[in-house]
Amino acid sequence: MPSALINVPPKAKRGDVIEIKTLMSHIMETGYRHTASGEVVPRDIITSFACRYNGTEIFRADLYPAIAANPFISFFTTATESGKFEFEWIGDKGFSETASASITVE
């Protein structure tokens, strides 16, 4: 199973704007490379990333082959309530991975 590295502050004050950083293991094969014998290496990329905060989608990204291997994506959100961030990566060849992180908002 591919590993993901998620960084969410464990605690925040209500109304704080916090940064969420994500790294996902993935080769991001562009589909534009060839083997030594001239065959095209088929595309194998993550095409979509989404983050939900207590069930509500707060961020989404469409990715193309120009995103580097082991995609790093960081973004911001406002800490409104304690709960859970859920992350989802979807891609070629049936790739589908999830991860989650908790936050305590005071």
Partner 1 sequence: MADTDHTRRTFLGLAGGAAVLGTVPVVIVRPVEATPAMLQTAIRNVVGEANVRTGKVKLDIPPLVENGNTVPMTVSVASPMTADDHVKSIHVFNEKNPQPNIGNFHLGPHAGRAQISTRIRLADSQKVVVIARLSDDTFWSATVDIVVTLAACTEEVI
Partner 2 sequence: MRLLGCIALASALAGAALAAEIPQDQRRSGYSFMSADTKAMQDDDTVNPGMLWVLDGEALWKRKAGTSDKSCADCHYDARVSMKGVAAHYPAYEKAFGRPLDLEGRINLCRANHQQATPLPYESRDLLALTAYVAQQSRGMPIEAGDDPDLKPFVEQGRELFMQRQGQLNLGCANCHDDNWDKKLAGSAITQGHPTGYPLYRLEWQSLGSLQRRLRACITGIRAQAYDWGSPELVALELYLMSRARGMPMEAPAVRP
CB closer to partner 2 out of 14 and 21: 21
Q: DSSP secondary-structure letter at 14?
A: T
Q: Which does 7 bind (CB under 5 to 8 A by kind): partner 1, partner 2, none?
A: partner 2
- Decide: is 1 part of the binding site for partner 1 (CB under 8 A): no
Give the interface size with partner 1 as a residue count (CB under 8 A): 30
Q: Phi then psi for 80, rounded to 5 degrees?
A: -110, -35
Q: Which residues contact 33 (CB under 8 A, 6 or more apart)?
A: 40, 41
Q: Which CB, 26 or 79, lies closer to partner 2?
A: 26
- Rounded to whole angstroms, the Cα distance separating 78 from 94 reads 32
Please, what is the minimum distance in Å from the beta carbon of residue 90 to partner 2?
Answer: 19
The two structure tokens encoding residue 18 = 């916090």
- Tokens standing for residue 58: 């707060």
Contact residue for partner 1 among 74, 98, 102, 104 (CB under 8 A):
74
